[in-house]
């Protein structure tokens, strides 16, 4: 029997989303927390896509609380959580909290509803029944996340030097969590850092932030950042990293024929797709759909793809067999003249320094060159 190596996961599957916040309160902050929650609850009720929320207190430890919310879809929640409105709304709650852990779940089954048929999706946006995730995703044990920020124009070479020259943190976080891969890219004055974590993402990020070598790098970056921050101030640090977060909205790893090992010659690239105002989520969805379809195309050089999105910024991380320029259309993630025309309409070509239609392979090669990000460092931890 052949075992499939196909891995697929998408925020665009149409399913409702359950968000869970596990909260540990500071001593004596209960009333302040309740007041802050009321403020947040009243505000979030009018946010598009928000359906309901609950506040629960532990029956065993009164300082432990649980906040759950339900959203019509992952994109509606991600649009809210990455907004300035969200940062300001939750700010009163931050000083009450000793520790917080956030988790997101697609709703797969629900008592009292007819379960949808178990069948593999045909695209990244397969409609679901009653907002339920139709298939159970098959994962690879990794959580993917990215951060992006800009540095002052003229400081790019110095920033690249700082980011490339540091000792990597220990990959082992605890008994169940490992930092598997960290890759940094730059495009002009924009930095993108992607991480792959086995286990608890937040535990891994906290682990990394505490390492002396990483803190030294972050402090060295501070004078060059366009958006200032003070990492010694918890509120300033939280606001900066909240604004920098780029969640992965789609990931697919293609099936390996015969269930064998993946190609050994894969090389990692990142492509930057600045969107026209208000088009970021739609552009991310287009690339996700195209990557899902391309995973079934044996001619595609892309073995693995992850789409990250925030506001009007989309970054696509790809592991490619060979040189992407030998097949620029597939490397860009667009197939067919119609899809290419849609991409061209949504893309902010002026921000890339390349404008006009995307009608030929020459156009695709030119866009690929302008969208390609410069690799600064790629650190892979051993699998042991």
* Six token digits for residue 175: 């008994």
> pLDDT per residue over 189-211, tens digit each?
999 999 999 988 888 887 777 78
pTM: 0.90
Indicate the burial class of 155 (C-beta count within 10 angstroms; 0-12, 13-18, 19 or more). middle
CA–CA gap between residue 300 and residue 308 (Å, rounded) = 21
The CATH classification of domain 17-106, taken from the options 3.40.50.300, 3.30.70.100, 3.30.390.10, 2.60.40.10: 3.30.70.100
pLDDT-wise least confident of 40-49, 139-148, 250-259: 250-259
Closest-CA residue to 110 (of 70, 146, 82): 70
Indicate the burial class of 212 (C-beta count within 10 angstroms; 0-12, 13-18, 19 or more). exposed
Q: Which residues pair with 185 in a beta bridge?
A: 192, 375
Q: What is the mean pLDDT of the chain?
A: 87
Question: Does 125 have pLDDT greater than 90?
Answer: no
pLDDT confidence of residue 133:
79
pLDDT confidence of residue 259:
57
* Domain ranges within the chain, ordered by starting residue: 17-106, 142-244, 248-375
Q: Which residues contact residue 294 at a Cβ distance below 8 angstroms, ignoring those fewer than 6 apart?
A: 254, 300, 302, 305, 330, 333, 335
> pLDDT per residue over 174-194, tens digit each?
888 888 899 999 999 999 999
Question: Does 130 have pLDDT greater than 80?
Answer: no
Fold agreement between 17-106 and 142-244: yes
pLDDT confidence of residue 257:
60
Helix, strand, or coil (residue 184): strand
> pLDDT per residue over 272-316, tens digit each?
999 999 999 999 999 999 999 888 888 888 999 999 999 999 999
Residue ranges of the alpha helices (H) in 107-200? 156-164
Round to the nearest angstrom and report the end-to-end CA distance of the chain: 27
CATH code of the domain occupying 142-244: 3.30.70.100
Closest-CA residue to 195 (of 370, 299, 207, 187): 207
Question: Does 167 have pLDDT greater than 80?
Answer: no
Q: Average of pLDDT values for 51-80?
A: 95
* Six token digits for residue 202: 């937040």
* Secondary structure letter of residue 225 according to DSSP: B
CA–CA gap between residue 339 and residue 352 (Å, rounded) = 19
Helix, strand, or coil (residue 86): helix
Question: Does 35 have pLDDT greater than 90?
Answer: yes
DSSP string, 344-363: HHHB-HHHHT--S---SHHH
């Amino acid at each position: 029997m052949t075992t499939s190596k196909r891995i697929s996961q998408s925020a665009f599957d149409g399913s409702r989303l359950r968000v869970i916040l596990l909260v540990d309160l500071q001593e004596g902050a209960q009333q302040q927390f309740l007041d802050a929650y009321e403020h947040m609850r009243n505000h979030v009720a009018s946010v598009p896509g928000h359906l309901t929320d609950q506040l629960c207190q532990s029956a065993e430890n009164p300082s432990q609380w649980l906040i759950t919310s339900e959203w019509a879809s992952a994109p509606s929640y991600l649009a809210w959580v990455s907004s300035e409105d969200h940062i300001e709304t939750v700010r009163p709650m931050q000083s009450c909290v000793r520790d917080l852990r956030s988790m997101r779940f697609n709703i797969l089954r629900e008592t009292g509803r007819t379960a949808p048929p178990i069948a593999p999706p045909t695209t990244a946006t397969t409609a679901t029944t009653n907002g339920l995730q139709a298939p159970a995703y098959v994962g690879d044990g990794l959580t993917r996340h990215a951060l992006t920020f800009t540095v002052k124009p003229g400081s790019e070479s110095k920033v690249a030097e700082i980011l490339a020259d540091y000792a990597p943190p220990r990959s082992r976080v605890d008994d169940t969590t490992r930092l598997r891969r960290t890759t940094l890219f730059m495009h002009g004055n924009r930095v993108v850092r992607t991480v792959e974590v086995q286990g608890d993402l937040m535990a891994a990020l906290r682990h990394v932030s505490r390492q002396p070598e990483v803190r030294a790098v972050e402090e060295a970056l501070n004078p060059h950042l366009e958006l200032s921050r003070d990492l010694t101030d918890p509120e300033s640090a939280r606001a900066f990293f909240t604004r920098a977060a780029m969640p992965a909205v789609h990931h697919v790893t293609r099936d390996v024929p015969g269930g064998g090992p993946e190609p050994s010659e894969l090389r990692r690239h990142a492509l930057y797709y600045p969107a026209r105002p208000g088009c970021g989520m739609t552009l991310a969805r287009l690339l996700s759909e195209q990557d899902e379809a391309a995973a079934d195309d044996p001619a595609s050089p892309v073995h693995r793809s992850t789409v990250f999105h925030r506001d009007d910024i989309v970054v696509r991380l790809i592991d490619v067999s060979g040189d992407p320029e030998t097949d620029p259309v597939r490397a860009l993630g667009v197939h067919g003249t119609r899809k290419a025309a849609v991409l061209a309409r949504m893309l902010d070509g002026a921000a890339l320094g390349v404008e006009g239609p995307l009608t030929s392979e020459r156009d695709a090669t030119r866009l690929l060159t302008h969208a390609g990000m410069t690799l600064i460092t790629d650190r892979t931890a051993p699998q042991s």
